[in-house]
Amino acid sequence: MTWDVVVIGGGNAGLVAAIAARQRGRRVLLLERAGAAMRGGNTRHTRNARCASAEYPADELWADLRGVGPPGPLARLTVERSAEVPDWMTAHGVRWQRPLAGTLHLGRTNRFFLGGGKALVNTYHRSAAALGVEVRYGACVTDLAVDGPGGTEVVLDGGERLGARAVVCASGGFEANLDWLRRYWGEAADGFLVRGCRENDGRVLAALLARGAATAGQERGFHCVAIDARAPRFDGGIATRLDSIPFSVVVNADGRRFYDEGEDLWPKRYAIWGRNVAGQPGQVAYSLWDAKVNERFLPPMYGPATAPDLPALAGLLGLDPAAVAATVKEYNAAVRPGAFDPSRLDDCATEGLDPPKSHWALPLDTPPYYGIALRPGITFTYLGVRVDSAARVLDAGGRPLGSVFAAGEIMSGNILSSGYLAGFGVTIGHVWGRIAGEAAAS
Amino acid sequence: MTGELSAGALFAEAGRQLTVCNACRYCEGYCAVFPALELRRALTEGDITHLADLCHDCRACYTACMYAPPHEFAIDPPAVLSAVRRDTYDRYLPRLPAGRATTIAVTGLGALVILAACATAGGTSAAVPGSPYRVIGYPALLAAAGLAIAWGLAITGWAARRYWRDTGGRATLAGLAAAAGQAATLRNLRGGGADCAYPGDEPSPWRRRLHHLVAGGFGLCTASTVAAAVSQDVLGDPPPYPVLSVPVLLGVLGGAGLTAGCAGLLRLRSRSDPYRTDGLMSSRTRSLLLALLVLSVTGLLTLLLRGTVAFAPVLVIHLVAVTACFAIAPYTKFVHVIFRFLALVHDRSEAGLAD
């Protein structure tokens, strides 16, 4: 039997594509690699969407996107189509809530869905089931035979072949594939953790590239934040993040500072710290703070190391106490008094220190002292397949690769380059899921 | 399973899970538990007890949790908080030897008391056909029911006092009013608008609706009793009352609501996931629902059969059920009313003071 549309991947991009194609009357099969309990891919870890609106004009979103790195060729289209996303979500059963605690600054630009990403996935599965989309769990796609007899064939790991008039690839990046990361990062990749789901090993992406798809995006492009070094290898998600950095002094394994912890408001800077830590020896860094600021940020999941003095804290974290003491002494001496205010770019800064701490710089002097080891935690990689404005996968000559479409993280390299803007991953999934689903249905 | 943990290990496990929740916070739109958690960093046993009783078991958080089993974080708030609630009930109320034997003994005792009271029948004047006082004497009835109720109130009052102290409860007038509003509307069984994931993983309003029937039915039955007392002792109009009278109408409505609500909740419970609720708590819920069902059905039967020969035995059964239910109420799930309301007062007062 030949399906009208087979969607590979059950995250938000895949679900939106399946629903959109089914609403155009097509017979749709969605292949979810995980079992039912862990369905939804990286969408399970999301909580909001950043979309243009009357309060947040497309031009402002565009400017914010440009602020985190040079946008890709399809970024402008994504920004413009983002305005349709919230209404589409509401129409498909999504409920909304006020911005979560600690995210009030995102209230104008980002819309938070009730219960977060797994609730979103459950809602879309309900909607898809009501429409008659078929779903197969535990379905691992190993290859695509493009333009075989009767369309494209999707090959499953058991050898089964599914015929499809059109295929939408929404199977994410390759962040859970350590060998693939090593190609671009070398041994440093061994020090990375994966915040996203363990299923995203890039099999479908690799198959598309082997079948002649052109690439889009940078090899080292990824959304990566600094997370607790004790987080699991895969699938740690939001709970492993750490918001202490602007309130702390961050040192590397040699006990030395390496980047301005107070460069900008945390929501604008949180996404560069994964890359910052990735560049340090051993891909590890240590955030150190004291009793004055301990309750200024969300409590860390595993709790911090605590000691009555800095040398003892350094010892607990496996750092050289003398090196840490010297760094903190130099830092404390450079701190100039100011009016401490975490809600704005305040005037608490260091003077004559390299690198500086430009805001929220307070001396580290009030016991007990706290510290946590950080590692880069990758959410998703950007290197993917090149697509056109109808989400058709293109080959190196710019010609469509049969009737294969792509949506979500697997094509995010057409939009993002190096930086990340909170909530934009869900926006990409929805905008391109819809474009791909509707195009695959026509 | 959480049901097999010692109290210390249970609080440690609840603390572990809630610390993950406090670092995540995706669920704060669902109910009062998560915003209350966010006001705390280091969780004491009192905090965990408070949060557990604030939990209304709507399970929305469980269905929304990306860390629920089989994820290695194994987050399951409905299950662990249900186990903590069992600990609360066992801690603050004197334990009785388990279940059926106790229920039989207390019911037997109630039966003896009521039958003894029946010996005093006719002691009240003007006991016309259809009047309960042809079966049982009014002073004896008052004494039997009054003693049972007084006993229940004393035990639960004592428990409430210690619970309030241990959970660090504080109350404001505004908090009390807000808590009463939330209790009456079952706001925390709404899943933030998404409704309860009960009995399965799909959202459904039925648990909340049926609970309203039970609570409303119980309230109307109480109002019916009060109305009858007023009619008799204030207005000097002894029973039986006609169908179109305040006590009978309230009683019929209340009895019907209670019957439908209890039967519905028992049916939902039989279809719900047993792993989401502590086993003993689940069986206590069943016992309470069955007891209320016996109360409401026998109550309705006394009305239906009051002109027949069956009236006397049915009335005795109903009165035995009332006496036994009130006597054992402090040991059943009935006390969730007390602990949950105290948790709501604490929460609404705290939220008001935090603003």
**CA A71 – CA A58 distance, rounded (Å):** 14
For B18-36, give one letter per residue: b (16+ CB within 10 A) or e.
Answer: bbbbbbbbbbbbbbbbbbb
pLDDT average, residue stretch A115-137: 98
Chain B closest CA to A217's CA: distance in Å? Answer: 29
Does A40 reach chain B within 8 Å, measured CB to CB?
A: yes
Cα distances from A52 to residues A63, A72, A86, A110, A151, in angstroms, run 12, 18, 9, 9, 37
Residue B96 clears pLDDT 80, i.e. is over it: no
Mean pLDDT of A245-254: 97
| B336-354 vs B77-92: helix crossing angle, rounded to 10 | 110
Label residue B323 by pLDDT band (50, 70, 90): confident
pLDDT band at B258 (very low <50, low <70, confident <90, very high): very high
pLDDT for A299 equals 87
Please check the confidence at residue B1 and state whether its pLDDT lies above 50: no
Q: How confident is the model at residue A249 (pLDDT cuts 50, 70, 90)?
A: very high
> Cβ–Cβ of B66/A97 closer than 8 Å?
no
Of B20, B26, B41, nearest to A116 by CB-CB distance is B26
Model pLDDT, residue A266: 84
Residue A71 pLDDT exceeds 50? yes
More confident residue, A162 or B97: A162
| pLDDT for residue B101 is more than 80 | no
Per the model's pLDDT, the better-predicted residue between A364 and B151 turns out to be A364
From chain A, pick out residues whose CB is under 8 angstroms from the CB of B24: 237-239, 301
Distance from CA of B60 to the nearest CA of A (A): 8
Out of A66-80, A153-167, B272-286, pick the least confident.
B272-286
Phi-psi category of A6—alpha, beta or left, where left has phi over 0 and alpha has psi -120 to 50? beta
Say which of B38, B192, B193 has its CB closest to residue A101.
B38
Percent above pLDDT 90 for chain A: 90
pLDDT band at B90 (very low <50, low <70, confident <90, very high): confident
**pTM (2 d.p.):** 0.93
What are the structural domains of chain A?
2-220+382-441 (3.50.50.60), 225-377 (3.90.700.10)
Q: Where residue A354 falls among pLDDT bands split at 50, 70, 90?
A: very high
pLDDT at B5 over 80: no
**How far is the C-alpha of A51 from the C-alpha of A61, rounded, in Å?**
8
B68 band by pLDDT with thresholds 50, 70 and 90: very high
Q: Is the pLDDT of residue B124 over 60?
A: no
CA distance B77 to chain A (A): 14
- What is the per-residue pLDDT for B97? 60
H or E segment at A20? helix A12-23
Given a contact cutoff of 8 angstroms between Cβ atoms, the answer to whether A259 and A355 are in contact is yes
Mean pLDDT of A351-360: 97
Supply the pLDDT for residue A215. 98
Find chain A residues with C-beta within 8 A of B27's C-beta.
115-116
Q: Is pLDDT of B109 > 90?
A: no
Q: Is the pLDDT of residue B122 over 80?
A: no
Q: Give me the residue from B20, B68, B194 closest to A114, CB to CB.
A: B194
Question: What mean pLDDT is predicted for residues A115-128?
Answer: 97
**CA proximity to A384, closest of A187, A200, A188, A195:** A200
Flag if B23 and A300 touch (Cβ within 8 Å): yes
Residue A36, chain B, CB below 8 Å: the answer is no
pLDDT at B63 over 80: yes
Are B66 and A101 within 8 A, CB to CB? Answer: no
A300 close contact with B: CB closer than 8 A: yes
Q: Is A336 on the interface with B (CB under 8 A)?
A: no
What percentage of chain B reaches a pLDDT higher than 90? 57
Residue A149 has pLDDT above 80, yes or no: no
